[in-house]
Each structure stands twice: as C-alpha cells, then as structure tokens.
Structure 1
C-alpha cells in the first residue's frame, strides 16, 4: 500500500474507482486516501462506462422486444455490473433510518446481512420507478431510452463525489466509507459533475432539446441525493459505504424522474 501522503495519479484513482465500484477486473495498485480522492472525483467515468454497457444492452432488447423489457434489462445490467452494491446500500440505509434507533444501533442494523421491511419496500419502489421511467423513454425512441440509461448511471456516480466532500465525516472507522470520506473538494465535485453532464449531452446533439434536458436531468438528479445525504449525516454522524450507495441510487432515480417530467 502506498503512503497516503503521496499524491495519487489519475490512473491510480481510476483503477481504484473501477475496482471498488464495478465488477470489471482491474488491478488496484493503491488503496489509500490519496487514491480514494482521485477515485471519487473520477467516479463519473465509471458511470459512463457502465452506463454505456447497460444502454447498449437495453437498446438491443428494445429493438427486438419493446421498451418495458429493455428497461428491465438496462436496470438489471447496471445492478449486475456493480454486484448490486448501490442497491444493497439503499436497502441498508432505509432499514437504518426506518428503525428509529440511536445512531450506534442504526449503524449496527445497517451492517447486518439481512434486509428488513423498510429496505424491501424501498428497493421495490425505487426499482419500479426506474423501470417505469426507462420504459417511457424507450417507448418514445430507442436512442432516447439509451441516453436516459447513460444519464442516470453518470448522475449516480457524480453523487458519490458530493457524498465524499471534505465537510462530510465518516460515521465509523474502517470500511470503504471511512477510506473515501472527506477526500473531495467542492471544486472537484462541481467540475466532475459539470464535465459529466456535458459529456452526456454530446450524444443528444441530434436533438436540440435532448442536448439541454440530459445535462439538466443529471444536475437535478444529483441534487435529489443531497437531502438524503444531509439526513444520513445528521442521523448517523457521517457517511458509510451504504450511505454512498443510497445517494447513488437516489441520484439515478431522480435523473430518470427529471427526464420523464421534462418530456
């Protein structure tokens, strides 16, 4: 392990990001806070890659079997590409918040391997919302559906950087949450989100409104994750890996809602 005081390269940060946020096999050369800072800032790149894979799978299914099955495919592929990491975090946070117990007890509930009723209900509603929103986008056109998948995947990873701002502490020592907490500057998070939103807009240039609605939806989706982050920090005393996963899924769902409402 490299010394956390050494400045990490972007290559090391990207390998850290892909190694922790996806099933793609990469060699993680550094596992320290310097690399974590780069990784969380570069997390939208992971979203672009995973989103492109899921969008391609969804588009292929839409061509042969229609929008609803395409939406299920895209959501399923994204879950598979992350081993359900963010969805698991969402369920755990729902159980922790829903328990109404003190922070220490709530964190212990979140670490348990089983899923409680709050987690099940939240997962069900979020997945239904994502599938319904994507089905509507694929129903309008296959390219629009594919771009919606890409935008939601990118927004989810942008939310990770905002969850790791230097003003946001870790809720407990140890684990991925403690490794990445308080590593990202506001300027880096804002720059990464803006760059990602503009990249998502590029494929939509064939349609002037899409070129505007896609980046706007990404920004709105990331904004939707902020209240959850604030609530978790106040409730648990900081972030955990589960909290980051929950904010990612919230941002993804918020982006899809925004695209649906923007027409």
Structure 2
C-alpha cells in the first residue's frame, strides 16, 4: 500500500535515542545529525511552546529542576540547554524525514487559538512539507484534527498512550482519519513476555490496520522486536538504537 512509509523505515527517537546516546543528548542538533549518519530514515523531535510563544525541543513538561517549559521564556530555555525548532530542523539533512511529536500543554485549552502549540507549529509544518517528508504525531487528538484541517498535506499519526489496547488504537486512528497509527511496542508484547489473553498478534493487527487504510508505526522496540515487527508488516519503528535496528532489519531481509 502507498503511504507515509516505504518498507519498514527507521525513525530515530529524539534523534539518536532517549537520554544520552553516543555522547550526544536527545533533542539536540548533534543527536539529530548523528541519527541521520547512523542510517535513520526519519528523525523524531519533541516540540513544546514557551511562555513567549517560541517553540523549543524538549520531551518532558519541565526541566530537571522542576520549572515548566510553558512558564519559561525562550531565552531561559536556551540558558538551560534547550534548542529551538529552527535549529533542530536545520540539523536534519534534507533527505531525512521529520517526525514532529507535538506536546500539548494544559494552557492550550484556554489560551487564544493563535497561541496554542499546534497553531504556532503550522507555519513550520507547511514549510517543511514543501521540501521534505514530514508527519505529525501526538497523544492529543485535537492536534491531529487541527493539522488535518489547516495543513492537510501533512500526514498525521495518532499515538495512543503507553500500553494502549490495540483494538481502540487502530479503530481510533481510523475514526479520526489519520493515515498512521503509532503503537507502543509494549502493546504488541515484547519478546520473552507471556501471551496476554485477548491480545491480537502483530500480524493480525497490521493486517486490519492496512485494510482500514492505515500504516503502522511502533515506538521503542529494541532491534530484536523491530525485526520481528517488520516481518509482521509494521511500516516503521521509532527506536533508541538506530544503528542496531538498521543492522537487524538488513539482516532480516531475504
């Protein structure tokens, strides 16, 4: 089927991987460049808004000292080591796709629509979509619906929460009109785990998703599970071990 991904593609999680991997910290220009050099087809980055409506890259809602990103100005975030979205995008080579993980904040529910995280992001999405592959994923369905309405050229991926049941993950993504469902690897079941009653197999889930017009992305499998998922037809994997996953997928191909 045609779609966002071809074969089983590798997405570098927060760049080269969460935390510090290979001496580079997640969500930094260095991590993004390293992920591309290691063979990632895509780089995933986490976007948050600041108190003065800038977009910075950080996974968690707060810094290590407990200060919430949304309460800080962009210059305060920079002093804490965070980079802006422009700097992060500039570090990703043109041939590498961008997976934008949008981190909504509670204030998006009450602030002026123009200040909401997704509204601030839309100009970047339109620009990037004109020059490279890009898609948006989020735990927040409202973000995905807003992107579909205001920037329909940008594909969306619903990312249900941790260990979310497969049934509602696939049905929910299809119901929202997302072309991709992003499934926690633990929802599929990891290698070595006991079977869970009622859990559908990876291949069954992928088949139903494909028949619904969805592609399937799984986040954070290790290289062994990434290869297993690829064999079952999963279209892309978001991983913390880019080089290991690239190698495992190559070894698994006939």
Shorter-chain TM-score range: under 0.3
TM-score, normalization: structure 2?
Answer: 0.26
TM-score, normalization: structure 1?
Answer: 0.25
Does 1 or 2 have the higher relative contact order (CA < 8 Å, sep 6+)? 1
Q: Which structure has more helix as a fraction of its residues?
A: 1
